[in-house]
Chains A and B, each alone.
Chain A
Amino acid sequence: MSFGGEVTVITEPVVWSLITAVVKSIILISVAMFHVAYATYFERKVIGHIQVRMGPMRVGPHGILQPIADLIKLFFKEDIIPHQADRPIFYFAPVISFVAAISSLSVIPFYRDWYVANINVGLLFILAMSSLGAYGIVMAGWASNSKYAFLGGLRSSSQVLSYEIAMGLSLVGVMIMAGSLNLREIVEAQTRYPYGMFAIPQILGLFVFLVAAFAETNRSPFDLPEAENELVAGYFVEYSGFRFALFYAAEYIAMIVMASLLTICYFGGWTLPPVVIEIMPFLSVIPGIVWFVLKVYFFIFLFYWVRATLPRYRYDQLMAIGWKVLIPLALLNIFITGTLKILDII
């Protein structure tokens, strides 16, 4: 009889944590999708104004409803599958891309306790997920049975693989300084310093991470996998309707994830530098989520800003930057950080 009781004792917290996880995930996904929709709008507006245009203006005041119109359009578009496409893979590829992108959001602490999962290898999880996203791209390129998609997929896979290394190595500096892979602990480790962010001691790592983040998310100036003027749209040329939207969303979520990772690993996440708090103590009244969101928005803006400024790199230049500049720089950064850590200076 006690057996039944035992089961309830065990299952209740499991069920409860399952429910909270599901609720949290739903909230997170809906907020993330809202951000994705408005990130596209924001991008078009920012790039428009930088090019002395206006961007979308027609749907609603100043085009504010444009993403909703786009979404409705994508829903009702015909779902076209190329004649000799590898159907199962073709169906599956956007799902992989999207799932990989959105699951990295689950480990990001937006505020002290605002996360879906607080795992002790959060940083590794995000790196793993962003590499997993490349599978979606490669599979899409392969399954489309189109030369443009195939070239896009190939370029993307080699690019993501190359820059993955640089990115991982650049984060090693952060790991050494924080002594943890848990993103929350990384943020808390930064508050131990008066300047409150790793961006200052890890300036080299920050640079490498920033460049690698652009390449990792296939954003300009490293947007070779989807170079419009060479490959039409790259790996998702043959996709239409909602599958296309999944790829698109994955790209923007990856951008948000990279912006969040930058904020968390180098700019103190939701915290403000203790120096600033000391000068202006009233700022500590504002909840940390505001600072986190502002920082993330700034980095998303940076993505657009760079896109509006820089032309695309050539493929050999891309590889040269990755292997000959970023990786040695990241290794140097690890060496310096490690030495300083051993000498107990930082």
Chain B
Amino acid sequence: MLEKIKERKGIILVLLAVAIICAFMLRERYLALVLCFICINIIAVTGLDVLFGYTGQVSFGHAAFYAIGAYGSTLLTMNYGIPPAITVILGSLLSMIFGIIIAFPAAKLVKHFLSLLTIAFGQMVFMFVSVTDSLTNGYSGIINIPPISLFNYTFKSNQSKFFLLLVVVILVLIGKNRLIKSRIGRAFIAIRENPHAANGMGINVRYYKIMAFAISAFLTGLAGGLYAHLVHFISPDTFMVTQSQLFMTMLLFGGIGSLSGPVIGSSILVIITETMQSFVRYQMLIYAVFILVVLFYLPNGVVGIMDTIGAKVKNKLGKRAEENAKV
């Protein structure tokens, strides 16, 4: 047991540092809200990572699933009085169903056309939600969405919401880890690297691609539902194409195909967004420059850079050990 702790020294130190930072941030309402946003984006971007990082299917319309989860959960809770804890799950399931529907044509298309299909889908959902006044109240949005309550405790304060979201994030990350290390995860990676070779090895590419879409849609829809019950207000503005681009930016910045990539990407970008509130006009420009910087200098994201640095450090340590051994 002690050996395991020694091995994972680095990660435990990082977690401790993060815990201390969180403890400081939680003392203030606004900072706790920022932490909640980070958690929600971690869940959503993890969903995108399952699709793009692990099966290589690009999606520029993921805000659609975010919207379906959010509106699905909201409408079920406000029109039928079902407790929010359940509607969040139902909203995610609805999002998953749409993911499966979209996956059927999407699994067949080459990357370029997949991007267009996902953009078109994202636009369709956005337009449907904006224009169908009778159902979704259109551009005015829906207000007074109730908070989540479990076992007679209502999560009303930002701090309590953070702990709930933290639990969900941990569950999601554990689930993703198990998924990646399982047969399914290996199939995903094989499909990402070379779909034809994967097919030749007997992997049912179509089936796994659809599964990836389903899982991805479920996770992002879950994030959407949690978002609705976090801020108690949703409107079509949140689900425009810019949100899809933001998810992509977070994923690429953090590093695709990794466990901590979405976490790092979401944290840094949410913090940047919040500190830039006074520069809202420059927001899109800064994201655009961010994307360019990531594309040109950080193709594997922050995680990639850390891996490169880690490899170099180990290299040097290995050389030193070798010299000591010779002497």
Q: Is this pair of chains taken from one and the same complex?
A: no
Residues of chain A touching chain B, judged by Cβ–Cβ distance below 8 Å, are: none
